[in-house]
Amino acid sequence: MKSTPSARHRARKLAVQALYQLHFLQASPSQVIKEFLEDNDLKRADVAYFEALVLGVSQQKAALWHTVCELLDREPEQIDPVEKSILLLGAFELSAHMEIPFKVVITESVDLAKIFGATDSYKYVNSILDRLATTFRSIEVGALQVR
């Protein structure tokens, strides 16, 4: 069954919440996923995608964060855990889900920052992921710039 965009969007929203929770808990990603599956209404969410996002970000967190940190204009410790979770999620999707256009990844991340982040954090998320897209999707970004 093909997932609808809203199901993927809901999966991303839940993934940001799970990643945020993992930032503060001494729990495994599988345990947090299990709790989310038990405690949330996931009928409209792409559950498999939610699980893939949380596990993928968790497994690649150090490398993803290192790549993000190269683009920051402030110390990494100054990045709010919500924005960090969104940036990690966006970086993971840009690097691991080539089937999703980079503009969709950025737009979804900006939307998540508008929902969960501080007032203007979406602008910062947008600027970082926009530059990160050229790292992970140089051919795709370049093709759009040629047009």
Residue with tokens 């982040």: 117
Which 3 state secondary structure label does DSSP give 75?
Answer: coil
pLDDT (0 to 100) of residue 89: 98
Domain-wise residue ranges, the chain? 5-146
**pTM for this entry:** 0.92
Q: May I ask the CATH class of domain 5-146? A: mainly alpha
> What pLDDT, in 10s, does the model give residues 37-84?
998 878 889 999 999 999 999 999 999 999 999 999 999 999 999 999
Q: What CA–CA distance (Å, rounded) separates 29 from 35? A: 10
> Do 61 and 20 contact (CB within 8 A), yes or no?
no
